[in-house]
């Protein structure tokens, strides 16, 4: 699915943050950018969890109906619809906000991994031309991450002499400052100790190992927080089993992908997970728990 219609506006917003709020720091831009997006999406997130909480409230009734009419699908569906109507529950209510959020969250990946395209409006032809130049001068290219490879190459002091040759396609102010807390967020973390030791940037790569680890840990914590309300509300066994599987598989998948992409994307996942945990704490305390007290 082509999400350029979302990615370009988000890229312009990221560019504004980089130049005006983040002191020309790509890492700080990612943090501020992620915070803003999560705040914008908060109403949808609240609506999603409210709907999920209401669905959990009627779970005992639903389970009873499923047992009673397990051999009569028509009657089962009629009774379920009756429960939903009487309790003002939309069984798909938790999905719609999520469906709206997902394209936006996927677009963030494109913005962060392709800043030349989405932040500075470079065409694919221009980016490919710059990438060919990088390859011709023995530059290290990260597979499928053209923009980061180009920025890393031309940001290297020994390669800045080449900027004159590509001045029509790339300006010095379009070379994002990828350094954050002494780390190059354009580097892809390595897991192999031999690769790390043989690299001239070994000290950076050892520290960069923290990115996939923290991404996995924060993913696990985030999932546990997001599923805690479902479990405490008496969710069925199937839902509990799915939650347990997610809390195991998703952190492992996150760590795997964090070793395949630049550290900037790993930083985005970490920040996003941390914000999501605090959002969930807020929702649990001031939205769902407050509703439970009112109902009592």
Do 56 and 191 lie in one domain? The reply is yes
Burial class (CB in 10 A: 0-12, 13-18, 19+), 150: buried
Indicate whether 60 and 169 sit together in one domain.
no
Short-list 293, 267, 283, CA closest to 109: 267
Q: Same structural domain for residues 29 and 153? A: no
Q: Looking at 32-191, which runs of residues are DSSP E strands? A: 179-180, 183-184
User: How many structural domains does the chain have?
Assistant: 2
Which 8-state DSSP code applies to residue 25?
-
**Same-domain check for residues 229 and 280:** yes
For residue 292, what pLDDT is reported?
53
pLDDT (0 to 100) of residue 291:
55
Same-domain status, 62 and 52? yes
Q: Say whether both 79 and 204 belong to one domain.
A: yes
The DSSP secondary structure of 233-289, one letter per residue, reads TT--HHHHHHHHHHHHHHHHHHHHHHTTS-HHHHHHHHHHHHHHHHHHHHHIIIIIH
- 97: number of CA atoms within 13 Å, CB side? 17
Reduced to 3 states (helix: H, G, I; strand: E, B; else coil), residue 294 is helix
- In terms of domains, do 157 and 280 share one? no
3-state secondary structure (DSSP) of residue 180:
strand
Q: What are phi and psi of 179, to 5 degrees?
A: -80, 130
Residue 134's nearest CA partner among 185, 170, 109, 110 is: 170
The last residue of a domain, from among 135, 159, 175: 175
Residue 85 sits in which domain range?
A: 4-119+176-295
Same domain as 183, residue 169: no
Residue 44 and residue 55 in one domain = yes
Mark whether 263 and 169 lie in a shared domain: no
- For position 245, what pLDDT does the model report? 78
pLDDT tens digit sequence for 179-194: 999 999 988 899 999 9
Q: Which of 175, 210, 239 is the last residue of a domain?
A: 175
pLDDT at 50: 79
Spans of the chain, pLDDT less than 70? 1, 93-98, 143-144, 228-243, 289-296
**74 and 216 part of one domain:** yes
**Domain co-membership, 88 together with 108:** yes
């Amino acid at each position: 699915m082509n999400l350029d219609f979302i990615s370009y506006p988000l890229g312009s917003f990221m560019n504004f943050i980089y130049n005006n709020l983040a002191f020309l720091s790509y890492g700080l831009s990612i943090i501020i950018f992620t915070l803003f997006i999560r705040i914008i999406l908060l109403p949808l997130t609240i609506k999603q969890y409210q709907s999920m909480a209401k669905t959990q409230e009627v779970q005992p009734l639903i389970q009873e109906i499923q047992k009673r009419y397990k051999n009569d699908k028509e009657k089962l569906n009629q009774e379920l619809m009756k429960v939903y109507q009487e309790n003002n529950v939309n069984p798909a209510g938790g999905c719609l906000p999520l469906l709206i959020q997902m394209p936006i969250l996927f677009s963030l990946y494109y913005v962060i991994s392709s800043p030349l395209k989405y932040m500075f409006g470079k065409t694919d032809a221009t980016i490919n031309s710059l990438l060919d130049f990088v390859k011709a001068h023995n530059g290290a290219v990260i597979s499928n991450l053209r923009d980061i490879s180009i920025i890393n190459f031309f940001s290297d002091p020994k390669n800045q002499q080449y900027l004159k040759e590509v001045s029509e396609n790339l300006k010095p102010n379009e070379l994002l400052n990828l350094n954050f807390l002494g780390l190059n967020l354009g580097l892809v973390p390595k897991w192999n100790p031999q690769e790390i030791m043989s690299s001239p940037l070994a000290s950076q790569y050892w520290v960069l190992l923290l990115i996939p680890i923290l991404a996995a840990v924060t993913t696990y914590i985030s999932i546990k927080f997001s599923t805690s309300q479902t479990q405490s509300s008496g969710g069925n066994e199937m839902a509990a089993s799915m939650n347990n599987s997610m809390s195991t598989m998703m952190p492992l998948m996150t760590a795997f992908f964090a070793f395949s992409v630049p550290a900037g994307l790993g930083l985005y996942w970490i920040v996003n997970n941390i914000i999501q945990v605090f959002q969930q704490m807020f929702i649990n305390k001031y939205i769902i728990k407050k509703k439970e007290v009112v109902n009592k």
